[in-house]
Amino acid sequence: MELSQEGLAAAKETREAAARKRNEQAAAADAREREPKHEDKKAKPTPRVLPPVSHEVAFPANFDRGKTKLDPAKYGTFEKPHIGPQQERAKQYPFTLDPFQETAVACLERRESVLVSAHTSAGKTVVAEYAIAMAFRDKQRVIYTSPLKALSNQKFRELSEEFGDVGLMTGDVSLNPNANCIVMTTEILRSMIYRGSELMREVAWVVFDEIHYMQDRERGVVWEETIIFLPDECKMVFLSATLANASEFAHWIAHLHSQPCHVVYTDYRPTPLQHYAYALGGSGMHMILDERGIFRSEAFAKVRATFQMEGPDAQGGKDGGNPEPADGPAGRGRGGRGDRGRGGRGRGGGRGGHQDKGGPKEVGSILNAIKKMNWEPAIFFAFSRKECELYAGSLKTFDFNPNPDDKASVNEVFNNAVQCLSEEDRALPPIEKILPMLQRGIGVHHSGLLPILKEVIEILFQEGLIKVLFATETFAMGLNMPARTVVFTALRKWDGIQNRLMSSGEYIQMSGRAGRRGKDDKGICIMMVTEDVDETAARAMCMGKPSPLLSSFRLSYYTMLNMLRRLEGGDSSMEYVIKHSFQQFQQERQMPQVEAQLAEVESQMASLGKEGEDAIKDYLKLRSQIAEQSNVIRHVVLQPQHSLQFLRAGRIVSVQDGQTDWGYGVIVSVMRRGGGGATGAASGDGNSNGVPLDGYIADTLLVCNSASLVAGEPVPAKLGESGAEMVVVPMALELVASISALRISIPPDLRPADARRSVLLQLQDVVRKYPDAPPRLDPVEDMGIEDPVLLEAASKIEALESQLASNPVFQAERDQVKFKAFAQRAALAERAETLRTALRSSYLSAFKEEAKQRTAVLKRLGHVDEEGVVLLKGQAACEIDTADELLTAELMFNGTLIGLDKHQLVALVSCLIPVEKSGEAIKLTQVMAEPLASLQETARYIAEVSRECKLEMDPDSYVESFRPFLMDIMYSWSKGASFAEICGITDIYEGSIIRATRRLDELLQQLSRAARVVGDEGLASHIEDANLTIRRDIIFAASLYI
């Protein structure tokens, strides 16, 4: 980070300008409070309602409570902690603490770890501040970790103002690293632990903010490893949104570190919420959930009714209407495309014209209502950065800052902030274009913005100078910036796999931004509802339970190499890490229950006696062998050259995903992964062109439980079952279990619920007509397949079925009474075997096998020797956690980096940094073509070695993961191009370029350290010189929070 005196001074002036505005507002409010009031002498003060709080303690096994020598009068007990009246507190607050805060700080005074689980804006930060105050009082060191660098910068500023001696370490910034309190990202803390930093010996407390980030698929493992390897002497404070399994997490902590861990939980909202539904394509905005938590079914029915009244071509009223609470009209807008990925159909994308998100017209209509009701400030959540900008840019006629003083304050904050930029950077289009919008009290916040603009917008929003903010989901993570109103422009999001409804946990997190404590009597949530969201889905979303905290533990080479390097000093092996992971702990806690279930099943089997046991075994064996050969036939039948021409829109198929039977579904289309033609409209052989079976996705109408769609994990439902709904689910083609000879007609537009319901009714009619099973396509007679593998499998099935015909159990299949006894015993035997398998298997054994395979890779690549001792290449890889450690180390050791000049080196290393896909063509110069080819060849070699060591890896996908989208940009930037010039050669967002460049800077620093570890001072200096070429101007402008 560019920490020049000029940059820091500009940042300080920006904060002071904002503070002056805040003080002016506070003075005005204080003056109003001091005005004489005509008080009713008879009026009694309203008693403070104490919010409910749940408290429990998790103890490690065999914990001796008698060893805890604390005076109950001063500190209370484990079950009832409290701070005695004579006990001096580490920090005083100018307000009365809520019960959950009081309980939590009492646990801290007992020097015991605590997990605080509460809604957004409930006041969890009070607990963290108290732990820091205790550390200062007791002259101890405390670490505050956060999941995001931006959040770390904010916390650094807040804590510096409160405590003074505070440091910051985020990878690209290091300020006052010897402070009593250090704010850092969790990755930095993990790195310090692995390196055996002396600092860790002095740490008494570690605060983990946003601990629910531990379930992040990519980075969650960092939290898990850090918690596992923290010294047992450290006490921990975990801050989290509401969790369904907070107690389980606390028991894991107690088990790990042999210390009690308290759980302080409250689902109390300081500011109650009212939830409104706004009908897209219909009319009306109705309160569907009041502040008492009562769902109004009749109100939601009115929302649903408007869709039917308006019809498919309705415009919802003049100019989109003016939706006010109760019965105001709404409007219809443009749907627009999703943020990323291939659109599905039905609930996930559709082929028709029905929208699944609000357009500018709807946003304008809702804003009119918000202004009329004085519900500002408002946050509009959208799941696309482009949509945020589209909505904000469409509000040309809105001005939420009519007061000239507010406009002047915006100008002052904005101009002070950009003073740290060069004159050329101040003239950048994103900077010049945004000021008029900010002056009108409208802002945008997403990851593609210039960081300095994001921070200006955050400051203006905090100071009440932005009244309407369009933001992506990340704004709800960590940033303590509530509003009075939250609006959801869409209820569906693309999660990287599918376009699904928000889960209740996600809705709770974002809706928690509504309602400012001490300012609003209630918060307002408005959801833009589409026709396919029924009451079950809406109810589950806004009344559902919080999501449980799930482990995202996975093995990485970085972890393995650091573990092997630590072996000299203790028992820290990979097995130790796996065994102590949260995932393994969760499974082991279920074992007693599994053992009890097995004992019960075995008892039931014993009561049935042994009659027919051998016949059942033979029956099951024959059925298994027939299923095995049937699977061979199915695999041949599904080969694209055989199946695609039959998998047309409307074809009935049965679907099986492992043990999950989805029953019958209806094909919509089949597409190649990553694009390609759809067989629903194609002809001939489906244009397979040798594409393998796993290269196709089948969009299939399946019968799902509607409530499960809210959680984003569809669950099959039976035909005719209550809550059953037909939904288009993208699935792998290999999940098709059988292809029926029947096809039914499907509507061209599958978005409307009625259209999908018509398909469901047709399917029910087919199943009623063929109670055993609809007729299947014969592979030979109907499909004309003459594959010898298929013919041999068919012959084997014929022989097996002949043996099966003489089996007593099979013969009893038609006798329901006789067969019931056999079936009962067979079901019990199958259940018993399943339970035994669960007891035998564990994540430990699975991960141990993976660790064995990964160790083989490390040996093949020369990172460790046969005894597991980390070699020079492995020591270099231990320094790399910003990019793929294997490929980075390999490029160092195979000489690829040595022959490059500093500009080429920067450009090539940028390929290791993940970045969003660009639509611009890569304009590779001749000087970069050869290094890129070397990188790709090295990546392919690593992938091939991994496959030979029995790891599942697709070489093509691995090579393609190192995208050269930044090469041109970084090469030009390193050569001295301006930021405006590099933005002109790509369609990647400006903020994404800056974020990627800062991560590149971090990687180059790690590469330099790695070169010194192996003793190559020349390469280390060359890398440092290369790094200096990118550390300039707006990309490394000082944060306004520092």
pLDDT of residue 331: 32
Q: Is the pLDDT of residue 327 over 70?
A: no
Give the Å distances, CA to CA, from 734 to 343, 635, 673, 777, 912: 20, 8, 13, 17, 33
Q: Is the pLDDT of residue 39 over 80?
A: no
Which has more confidence, 495 or 856? 856
* Strand 523-529 relative to strand 485-488, pairing: parallel
Give me the mean pLDDT over the 750-756 stretch.
85
b/e sequence 5-38, b meaning 16+ C-beta within 10 Å: eebeebbebbbebbeebeeeeeeeeeeeeeeeee
Q: Is the pLDDT of residue 35 over 50?
A: no
Of the candidates 273, 282, 274, the residue with the CA atom closest to the CA atom of residue 529? 282
pLDDT of residue 335: 32
pLDDT band at 854 (very low <50, low <70, confident <90, very high): very high
Of the candidates 1018, 1021, 1017, 1026, the residue with the CA atom closest to the CA atom of residue 997? 1026
Which pLDDT tens digit goes with each residue over 510-523? 998 999 888 889 99
pLDDT band at 122 (very low <50, low <70, confident <90, very high): confident
Q: Is the pLDDT of residue 42 over 80?
A: no
Task: For residue 880, give both structure tokens.
Answer: 């790399």
Which has more confidence, 756 or 282? 756
Q: Is the pLDDT of residue 888 over 50?
A: yes
Task: For residue 214, give both structure tokens.
Answer: 């531990």
Letter for the amino acid at 811? Q
Reading phi first (left if > 0) and then psi (alpha if -120 to 50, else beta), residue 687 is in: left
Q: Is the pLDDT of residue 60 over 50?
A: yes
The average confidence (pLDDT) of the chain is 83
b/e sequence 293-319, b meaning 16+ C-beta within 10 Å: eeeeeebbebbbebbeebeeeeebbee
pLDDT band at 725 (very low <50, low <70, confident <90, very high): confident
Q: Is the pLDDT of residue 3 over 60?
A: no
Reading phi first (left if > 0) and then psi (alpha if -120 to 50, else beta), residue 862 is in: left
> Are the C-beta atoms of residues 503 and 142 closer than 8 Å to each other?
no
Q: How many CA atoms lie within 13 A of 973 on its CB side?
A: 33
Which pLDDT tens digit goes with each residue over 211-249? 988 888 888 899 999 999 999 999 999 999 888 899 999
Q: Is the pLDDT of residue 686 over 50?
A: no
pLDDT of residue 654: 92
Interacting residues of 965 by C-beta distance below 8 A, sequence separation 6+: 915, 916, 917, 918, 920, 922, 986, 988
pLDDT of residue 453: 95
Which pLDDT tens digit goes with each residue over 384-429? 899 999 999 999 999 999 999 999 999 999 999 998 899 999 999 9
pLDDT of residue 962: 92
Task: For residue 6, give both structure tokens.
Answer: 């000029």
Which pLDDT tens digit goes with each residue over 451-499? 999 999 999 999 999 999 999 988 877 667 889 999 999 888 877 666 7
pLDDT band at 843 (very low <50, low <70, confident <90, very high): low
Alpha-carbon gap, residue 326 to 365, rounded angstroms: 15
Which pLDDT tens digit goes with each residue over 948-976? 999 988 898 899 999 898 999 999 999 99
Give me the mean pLDDT over the 753-762 stretch.
89
Q: Lowest mean pLDDT of 42-46, 335-339, 800-804, name the range.
A: 335-339
pLDDT band at 676 (very low <50, low <70, confident <90, very high): very low
Q: Is the pLDDT of residue 312 over 60?
A: no
pLDDT of residue 939: 96
Give me the mean pLDDT over the 273-295 stretch.
87
Q: Lowest mean pLDDT of 47-61, 207-221, 883-897, 996-1010, name the range.
A: 47-61
> Are the C-beta atoms of residues 420 and 7 closer than 8 Å to each other?
yes
Q: What φ, ψ does residue 395 adopt, rounded to 5°?
A: -95, 50
Which pLDDT tens digit goes with each residue over 974-1019? 999 999 999 998 889 999 999 999 999 999 999 999 999 999 999 9
Alpha-carbon gap, residue 264 to 764, rounded angstroms: 50
Q: What φ, ψ does residue 714 adopt, rounded to 5°?
A: -55, 140
> Are the C-beta atoms of residues 113 and 235 closer than 8 Å to each other?
yes
Q: Is the pLDDT of residue 7 over 70?
A: no
| SS3 sequence of 183-219 | EEEHHHHHHHHHCCCHHHHHEEEEEECCHHHHHCCCC
Q: Is the pLDDT of residue 15 over 70?
A: no
Alpha-carbon gap, residue 301 to 1015, rounded angstroms: 72
Which pLDDT tens digit goes with each residue over 773-832? 899 999 988 999 988 999 999 899 889 888 888 887 777 766 666 666 666 777 777 788
Helix (H, G, I), strand (E, B) or coil at 658: coil
Give me the mean pLDDT over the 521-539 stretch.
88
Q: Lowest mean pLDDT of 32-36, 78-82, 792-796, name the range.
A: 32-36
